[in-house]
Homo-oligomer: A and B are copies of this chain.
Amino acid sequence: MPKTRMTNQRRVILEELRKVDTHPTVDELYTIVKARMPHISLGTVYRNLDLLTETGEVLKLDSAGSMRRYDGRIEPHRHVRCRVCGRIGDIFDAEESPSCSNVSVPGFTVTAVRVEYDGICDECRAAAEAQGSQAV
């Protein structure tokens, strides 16, 4: 991990993201930040969000942001996603899903739960181990 600097831009992006609870898209956050820093560029927002995600200072929501994927199997089942390459695997064991009837969130009507798994696929793990990575 290279050294990072707390630039003005990075601080403002972080501050503004922490102020809201809307889980903004990049463009939404860009608009918010531009109100305080009219000259900031969209590229800077992208680059900083990447960095802040890597350092763990912010969270990138998993439910969004890569390419669309489709599944020809429509029976209920679950998915694992490789955190490195994005590959998806199926899980067909018949474990019952947690219930969502006890979940209540102000502003929302919850209708379904979904359980998803993160992991790493064999190929990516082999590749990571091959180059002597620290934590896999």
Binding site for B on A (CB under 8 A): 14, 17-27, 29, 49, 53, 56-74, 79-83, 86-91, 93, 98, 100, 103, 105-122, 125
Contact = CB atoms under 8 A, between A and B. Distances in A.
A21 B69 CA distance: 11
> How many copies of this chain does the complex contain?
2
B70 A23 contact: yes
Given A61-B70, A67-B26, A111 B120 contact: yes
Nearest to A112: B118
B117 A70 contact: no
15 contacts: A17-B70, A19-B72, A23-B69, A26-B68, A26-B70, A59-B72, A89-B105, A89-B108, A93-B103, A100-B117, A105-B117, A108-B122, A109-B125, A110-B119, A113-B118
A66 B67 contact: no
Residue of A65, A71, A81, A112 ringed by the most chain B CB atoms within 10 A = A71
Contacts of A125: 109
Nearest to A110: B119
Across the A-B interface, the 9 shortest Cβ-Cβ residue pairs: A65-B68, A18-B72, A17-B72, A23-B88, A110-B119, A59-B71, A112-B118, A25-B67, A61-B69
